[in-house]
Amino acid sequence: MPLSRESIIHDLNRIFKENFEIEDPDPDENLSQAYEFDSIDAIELLVEIEKILGFNLTQEEKKQAVEIRTINQICDYMEGLAEDRA
Amino acid sequence: MVERRVVITAGSAITPIGHGKANIVESLKNGVSGVKPLRRDDLLSAYIHSGVFGTVDYPVEYDFDRRFKKTMGPVAFYACQVVREVLAEAGLDPDFIGSGRLGVAFSSTHGSPTVQRGIYRQFFSGSSEEYSSVNAVDYLKSMVHTTAVNITKMFGITGRVIASSTACTTGSQSIGFGYETIKFGLQDAMVCGAADEYDTTTVAVFDNLLACSTAFNETPHLTPRPFEEKRDGLVVAEGAGALLLEEYEFARRRGAKILGEVIGFSCGNNGGDLILPNANGIKATLLTGLESAGIGPEDVDLISAHATGTKMGDVIEAQAMSKIYGDRPPVVALKSYMGHTMGACGAIEALMTLYMMEEGFIAPTLNLEKVDKRCAMIRHVAELIPDADIRIAAVQNFAFGGVNTCLFLKRFDG
C-alpha cells in the first residue's frame, strides 16, 4: 500500500520533534536557514527515511537528496522512492 | 627567538570533589574525598575486582543548543561546560575569539568510550541490518579530538587546535603545548585542558594489570593512599579541567585579572618500557623543566606529585623527587582526594595547585596514616597547612607509554 502524503508528514513531524527538536516546521520552510538543519542532520534523517520506507537506500538514491531543503521536497523525494521500488 | 610571558587568566573544573573553585577549595581544606562505589553497568563492572571510582555524583546543568549537543558525547559535555565557564570568567572580546589568535589545546584519553561502546554493540550484534543504524555523528562524538573541536564549534574559536592524547599526561601536555604556543608567538591565547568521562573499560585495564585498588571497596573514601604503607593501587575517576592562558602584555592591555603564570614546561619519554615507571626518565624531565623555567630546585615551594597510589609508581616518583629536591619542598598527592581522572588529571591538578597558590594553603595528602619507608625521603604533607607562601609550584604527571611531563606555575604578585 503506497504511503500517503499525510502519513509521511505525520512521521516527519515526529522525527523532527524527537531527533532534531524542531516543532511542526512549515512544509515550504528552508530547514537549513530556519533551523540550522545541516549535513549531519540530513544523514541522520536518511536513516529515519529508510525506516519509514522499509528498505535501504542505495548510494545513488541518497545522493539525490543533496538538493532537498524543505519538508515538501522530502515528501516528494520519499514518494518518488516508494514509486520507483513499487 | 623572542620568548613571551604566559599568564593564566581563568580556570574551571568539574571534579569528584566539586565543581568550580569555591567547592573544590572547600573540599581540599576539609579533607573531603570524592571516591565512591563503582557504578554498575551492563558491561564490565560485574567482573572488575576494584569496586571504587572517583565519581562526579552531583548534577551538572548543561544549557547547550541542539546544534552543539548533536556532536557531543559525555566527555564533550564536560569539556564544553568547563570551557564555557572559563570564557565567561575571562570576558574575552568576541572579535578576538574568532580572530584566529585564540587556539584550543584540549583532549581526552579515548574520545567518548560510551559512544564507542554503542558502535561496537551494533557491529557485533550479528545483524547486517544494524550497520546502517550506526549514527552519522557517532564518529564526531567518539573521535579522540572530539573535545577540542566541539569547543571550537560551540564558541567559534578559529585558531590552532592541539589535541594531544597521551593518557595521563593529556591534560598537562595541553597546558604545556598551549604555553609554548603562546610563548613562541604562534597564538596570543589558548584554551587548555582535558576531560574524561565515566568508563569501566579503563578500570578493567588497570584492574587486569593488578594496578587498581581493591582492598577498600567497602570504604571508598580510604583509597587511594598515595605514598602510604597500605596503598593498594589507583582509583579511576572522571572529570574535566580548563584554563585560559594568555600572553602577558595582551592580558595586561585588556585589563584581565591575572591568576598566575606558567613559567616552564618539560615533556620527555622513558624510551623503553611502556608501563613501568622509570626514575631516570622522570628525573630527566624534572631537570629539563627546571631549566625551562630558569629556576633551581631551591626555588620550588610546592610539588603536586603524580602519585597515583600504585605500589611501584609512588616509590619511583619519590626517589626521583628526592634526588632533585631533597626533602625540602612540601609534596601533595591530589589524587588522594578524587582518584585518577586519567587524561584530565594534569589540568585538574594544575588548577588545584593554582588555587592553593592563590589562597595560600597546602592541602594534605589524604589517607597518609603511615608513610611507606621507601617513600619517606621527601617532605610529605599529612596535615593542612593553612598559611602557606607558595611562589612557585611544580605539577608532575606521568603516563602509560613512558611519557613524563612537568609544569611550573608561579604566583602572580603584580
Per residue in B77-89, pLDDT (tens digit) is 999 999 999 999 9
What pTM does this model have? 0.94
Reduce the DSSP state of residue B3 to 3 states and report it: coil
Measured distance CA(B123)–CA(B184) in Å, rounded: 46
B406 burial level (CB within 10 Å; 0-12, 13-18, 19+):
buried
Between A19-28, B114-123, B223-232, B269-278, the lowest mean confidence (pLDDT) is in B114-123
Residues 112-141 of B with CB under 8 A from A: 132-133, 135-137, 140
ipTM of the complex: 0.77
The partner residue sitting opposite B70, judged by closest CB among A40, A47, A56, is: A40
Contact B132 A20 (CB under 8 A): no
Residues 6+ apart with CB under 8 A from B190: B102, B103, B104, B105, B159, B160, B178, B179, B181, B182, B244, B245
Contact A40 B140 (CB under 8 A): yes
Measured distance CA(B372)–CA(B317) in Å, rounded: 13
The answer, for B66 touching chain A at a CB cutoff of 8 Å, is yes
Reduce the DSSP state of residue A79 to 3 states and report it: helix
The arithmetic mean of pLDDT across residues A9-28, rounded, is 93
Q: What is the DSSP letter of A45?
A: H
The partner residue sitting opposite B135, judged by closest CB among A20, A38, A44, is: A44
Q: What is the DSSP letter of B364?
A: P
Per-residue model confidence as pLDDT tens digits over B295-304: 999 999 999 9
Residue B227 scores a pLDDT above 90: yes
- Spacing of C-alpha B151 from chain mean position: 17
Amino acid residing at B256 = A
Residues 30-69 of A with CB under 8 A from B: 36, 38, 40-41, 43-44, 47, 50, 56
- Strand pairing category for B379-380 and B392-399: unpaired
Per-residue model confidence as pLDDT tens digits over A26-46: 999 999 999 989 988 998 899
Give the count of beta carbons closer than 10 Å to the beta carbon of residue A54: 9
Per-chain mean pLDDT for chain B: 95
Residue A72 contacts residue A60 (beta carbons within 8 Å)? no
Contact A44 B136 (CB under 8 A): yes
Residue B132 scores a pLDDT above 90: no
Q: What is the pLDDT of residue B96?
A: 98
Q: What is the DSSP letter of B362?
A: B
Contact A50 B132 (CB under 8 A): yes
Q: Which three cell numbers stand for residue B413?
A: 604578585
Q: What is the pLDDT of residue B315?
A: 98
The answer, for B373 touching chain A at a CB cutoff of 8 Å, is no
Q: What is the pLDDT of residue B133?
A: 60
Measured distance CA(A70)–CA(B31) in Å, rounded: 58
% of chain A surpassing 90 pLDDT:
77
Q: What angle do CA B271, B277, B280 make, to 5 degrees?
A: 60
Per-residue model confidence as pLDDT tens digits over B350-403: 999 999 999 999 999 999 999 999 999 999 999 999 999 999 999 999 999 999
In chain B, what residues touch A40 (CB-CB under 8 Å)? Answer: 70-71, 136-137, 140
The arithmetic mean of pLDDT across residues B232-257, rounded, is 98
The answer, for B67 touching chain A at a CB cutoff of 8 Å, is yes
Reduce the DSSP state of residue A18 to 3 states and report it: helix
Q: What angle do CA B359, B257, B238 make, to 5 degrees?
A: 60
Task: Name the β-bridge partners of B247.
Answer: B6
- Strand pairing category for B330-332 and B302-304: parallel
Contact B137 A38 (CB under 8 A): no
Measured distance CA(B227)–CA(B373) in Å, rounded: 9
Q: What is the pLDDT of residue B237?
A: 98
Measured distance CA(B157)–CA(B94) in Å, rounded: 10
Give the count of beta carbons closer than 10 Å to the beta carbon of residue A53: 16
The arithmetic mean of pLDDT across residues B258-265, rounded, is 98
B315-318: long-range contacts at Cβ-Cβ below 8 A with a sequence spacing of 24 or more?
A: B315/B372, B315/B374, B315/B375, B316/B277, B316/B278, B316/B279, B316/B282, B317/B277, B317/B282, B317/B396, B317/B398, B318/B227, B318/B374, B318/B375, B318/B376, B318/B377, B318/B378
The partner residue sitting opposite A43, judged by closest CB among B66, B67, B136, is: B136
Residues 6+ apart with CB under 8 A from A62: A46
